[in-house]
């Protein structure tokens, strides 16, 4: 999906909501376990309940590959079921030497047909650019994450510049606002404006709103740009909103609540 189509989808739905498909067999409603492929059936139910409220889905690959070949089959079927107008993110956090990265890219962009993949920047340019060689596909580069361990490296400062600032500055020479996004954690709302000043035109994928405590209003205030420039992810707060056979009703309500807040923000 190209940038213009993504922006049009956001404006059409009055939403910049991304739903994380972090499907855990220990947390899904028990009746799904009666199916031959409970992961796919649960994902299908979530997609049916949220496809009118969200503009993106983000399966975390760890929740699938831990089940071996059956998990990859569930992921493939899930990808085939997601409507074509919805942006898809492989939350895989890949990143390796060039030749290896090119095969990771083929896996997610060709075989699974994702629109984007999350990539770790630690190994530098030649580990990232192979993902940028595909038309209408995106790299979502880890910039400033919200986990406790982010303090270990991302905020390390040398000569007055933090490491995440160096990542943002240098990586913009590798891609463009049409194929390069950044992960920016919502629980670091006080720093989102700083990130936006360094990457004015790029989209941000923002996890941490909802169950992790991030503020949607703060993300909007400090992170938006002229093209909205935001995909805000919610996983647990939406997909596990219901526990029984009528879980789709609660899932839909949870997504609708966030989408309604986004609609209000978009109108301001």
148 is catalytic: no
Strand partners, 233: 18
Residue 19 in contact with residue 235, Cβ under 8 Å? yes
Residue 18's SS3 state is strand
**Tokens at 19, concatenated:** 């739903």
Query: Mind giving me the DSSP string for 180-231?
Result: EEEEE-GGGHHHHHHHHHHSTTS-EEE--BSTT-B-HHHHHHHH-BTTB-EE
**Tokens at 132, concatenated:** 């940028």
Catalytic hit among 93, 137, 161, 170: 93
The Cα–Cα gap between 62 and 71 comes to 9
Question: DSSP H helical segments within the chain, as ranges?
Answer: 3-13, 38-50, 62-65, 68-81, 98-106, 125-128, 150-153, 163-171, 189-198, 216-223, 236-239, 247-266
The Cα–Cα gap between 192 and 19 comes to 21
**Angle of helix 189-198 relative to helix 216-223, nearest 10 degrees?**
20
Q: What is the number of alpha carbons within 13 Å of residue 93 lying toward its C-beta? A: 8
Residue 182 in contact with residue 202, Cβ under 8 Å? yes
- Catalytically active residues, by annotation: 93
């Amino acid at each position: 999906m190209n940038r213009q189509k993504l922006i049009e989808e956001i404006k059409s739905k009055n939403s910049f909501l991304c739903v994380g498909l972090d499907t855990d067999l220990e947390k899904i409603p028990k009746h799904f376990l009666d199916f031959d492929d409970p992961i796919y059936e649960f994902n299908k139910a979530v997609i049916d309940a949220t496809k009118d409220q969200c503009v993106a889905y983000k399966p975390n690959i760890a929740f699938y590959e831990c089940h071996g070949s059956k998990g990859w089959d569930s992921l493939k079927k899930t990808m085939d079921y997601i409507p074509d107008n919805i942006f898809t993110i492989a939350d895989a956090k890949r990143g390796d030497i060039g030749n290896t990265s090119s095969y990771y890219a083929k896996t997610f962009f060709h075989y699974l047909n994702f629109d984007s993949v999350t990539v770790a920047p630690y190994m530098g340019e030649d580990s990232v650019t192979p993902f940028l060689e595909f038309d209408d596909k995106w790299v979502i580069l880890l910039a400033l994450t919200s986990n406790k361990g982010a303090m270990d490296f991302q905020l390390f400062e040398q000569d007055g510049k933090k490491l995440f600032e160096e990542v943002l500055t240098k990586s913009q020479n590798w891609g463009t606002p049409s194929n390069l996004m950044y992960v920016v954690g919502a629980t670091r709302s006080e720093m989102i404006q700083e990130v936006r000043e360094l990457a004015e035109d790029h989209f941000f994928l923002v996890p941490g709103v909802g169950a992790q405590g991030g503020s949607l209003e703060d993300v909007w205030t400090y992170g938006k740009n002229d093209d909205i420039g935001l995909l805000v992810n919610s996983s647990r707060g939406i997909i596990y909103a219901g526990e029984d056979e009528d879980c789709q009703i609660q899932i839909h309500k949870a997504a609708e609540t966030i989408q309604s807040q986004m609609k209000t923000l978009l109108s301001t």
